[in-house]
A and B are shown apart, each in its own frame.
Chain A
């Protein structure tokens, strides 16, 4: 069975600072992807970044990057130069051959001006 754990229910960061959201996962699949989704108050689920498990290089998307530690089954999200618009719930998720996403419980990120 796949599980995804986010141990930080809430985080806070000052505008322009950097914050890291933690995620650990467990899976028996050999081929899987990992994702971070953002859910702002509008409720829309927005893909932030994705990582293929077979790739050693950490994915980056502008101010968003991940630290993927496959052996430790860790997949953290770093947000640099935080902006007010980054305030949202962030979900870590894993997807395998069954093509369903398993989500963590989410981290609510507040950005302080």
Chain B
């Protein structure tokens, strides 16, 4: 059983398109995240949701819109894709929103904008 799963694993698309990445966790966690890993391997948080509510938005362009239909799912929709959006996007989840706990990561989605 995959704990945190993302689809698709690879996504190649043209500039200006709109795309979505889906994420699901079966760990029963309340908190889910999106992280971005750039070409230099630097990882940075983008969003955090707790039980379907947005709790962290790290000054991400509003072309990026997360959506959480329920606490087990957190999708990322990106409008008007730009070359600079090319990166690996990781979904993650953790158990306790009140305190620091380790995050469990999905396998990542490599987005390439051409």
Q: Do A and B come from one complex?
A: yes
Could you list which residues of chain A lie within 8 angstroms of chain B, going by C-beta atoms? Answer: 31-33, 35, 37, 39, 42-45, 47, 50, 89, 91, 95-103, 105-106
Question: Which residues from chain A contact B96 at a C-beta distance below 8 Å?
Answer: 99
In angstroms, Cα B50 to Cα A97, docked, is: 13
Whether B100 contacts A105 by the Cβ 8 Å rule is no
Whether A31 contacts B99 by the Cβ 8 Å rule is yes
Question: Which residues from chain B contact A45 at a C-beta distance below 8 Å?
Answer: 90, 92, 105, 108
- How many B residues face the partner with a CB closer than 8 A? 30
Question: Which residues from chain A contact B100 at a C-beta distance below 8 Å?
Answer: 31-33, 95-97, 99
B58 to chain A, nearest CB (A): 8
Beyond A99-B31, A100-B33, is A47–B102 a contact (Cβ under 8 Å)?
A: yes
Complex interface bits, B21-64 against A, C-beta within 8 A gives 1, otherwise 0: 00000000001010100001111110010000001101000000
- B40 and chain A: residue at smallest CB distance: A105
A-B pairs under 8 A by CB, number: 64
- B103 and chain A: residue at smallest CB distance: A101
Whether B42 contacts A103 by the Cβ 8 Å rule is yes
- B96 and chain A: residue at smallest CB distance: A99
In angstroms, Cα B88 to Cα A37, docked, is: 16
Whether A44 contacts B45 by the Cβ 8 Å rule is no
Question: Which residues from chain B contact A103 at a C-beta distance below 8 Å?
Answer: 42-44
Q: Considering the complex of A and B, which 6 residue pairs feature the smallest CB-CB distances, nearest first?
A: A95-B100, A45-B105, A33-B100, A103-B43, A100-B45, A43-B108
In angstroms, Cα B90 to Cα A52, docked, is: 24
